[in-house]
Homo-oligomer: A and B are copies of this chain.
Amino acid sequence: MDSLQKTENQEVSQEQIILDAASKVFMRKGYEGARMQEIADEAGINKALLHYYFRSKELLFHHIFRQSFRSFWPSIEPVLYKADSDIRSVIKAMVYGYANLLEKMPYLPNFIINEINRDPAKVAGLIQDAGIKPEMVVSAFERAMNKGEIVRMDPRELIVNIIGLCVFPVITRPLLGTLLYHEKHAYEQFLQSRKETACEFICRAVCLNFAAKSDF
C-alpha cells in the first residue's frame, strides 16, 4: 500500500528509469557488450536493484528488445492507408518517417540486426508479438503503385530499397563520414539534406522523374 503510493507520487517509476537506462546501454553496446554495472550507473542506482526488478540480464534485455522491435517497422503513417494516396506521397511518408525515427534512435537498426543475428529463430515470434502486419504496408504500396505510369517492380523490393536507403547512411555514419566526407559536420549536413535527395532518388527510380518536383 505504502509502496504503491510511493510509486504513484514519483513522476516516473523506478522501473521506467531502469528501462530507459538499459535501453541506452543495450542499444549502444549490444547484449554481449552491455554490463549490468553500466546500466545501474546510468540509472543512478545499485546493481542489485536491477535484479530485484527484472531478475536477470536476459529478461531485462528482452523487455528492451521487444519494445525496440516494435518501433522499427513503420508505425504506419495514416498516409500509407489513405485509399487515394499516390506513390510519391507514400515514398515521402516512408522516408520522412524513418528519417525522424533515426534522428531520435540512430542505433536502433544496428541493435535489431545484431540481436536477430544472435538468434534468427525468434524472428517469427517477435513479429507476431509486436502485432506487425507487413501485408498492410505491402498492399498500400501496391495500391499506390497501380496509379500513374509507374515502372513495374515488386512492391516488397521497393520497400526494402526505401528502408535501406534511409538506414544505411545512418548506421555507417562513423565509417562513411570519415571515408567520403572527411569530417563529422559535412556528413551531418549530408544526412539533413538527404531527406529530400533520397525522396528524389527513389521517385526517379520508379520513373516519376518527370512529374512535378516542386513539392519537395
Contacts and interface: CB of A to CB of B under 8 A. Distances in A.
Tell me what chain A mostly uses at the interface: helix, strand, loop, or mixed.
Answer: helix
A145 interface: no
A11 to B, nearest CB: 32
Interface in A89-129: 107, 110, 112-114, 116-118, 120, 123-124, 127
Nearest to A157: B197
Contacts of A178: 123-124, 127
Contacts of A163: 168
A161 B156 contact: no
A153 B197 contact: yes
A40 interface: no
A110 B120 contact: no
A164 B120 CA distance: 22
Nearest to A169: B160
A195 to B, nearest CB: 12
A157 B124 CA distance: 35
B201 A161 contact: yes
Interface stretch (A44-52, A56-64, A204-212): A204-212
Contact of A204 (B124, B138, B172, B206): B206
A32 B33 CA distance: 5
A76 interface: no
Interface of A: 28-30, 32-33, 73, 107, 110, 112-114, 116-118, 120, 123-124, 127, 132, 134, 138, 151, 153-154, 156-157, 159-161, 163-165, 167-169, 171-172, 174-176, 178-181, 190, 194, 197, 201-202, 204-207, 209
19 contacts: A29-B118, A30-B114, A32-B33, A73-B179, A114-B114, A124-B178, A134-B179, A134-B180, A138-B180, A151-B209, A153-B197, A157-B190, A157-B194, A161-B165, A164-B168, A164-B169, A165-B168, A205-B205, A207-B209
Give 7 closest A-B pairs by Cβ, nearest first: A164-B168, A32-B32, A205-B205, A120-B174, A32-B33, A123-B178, A156-B180
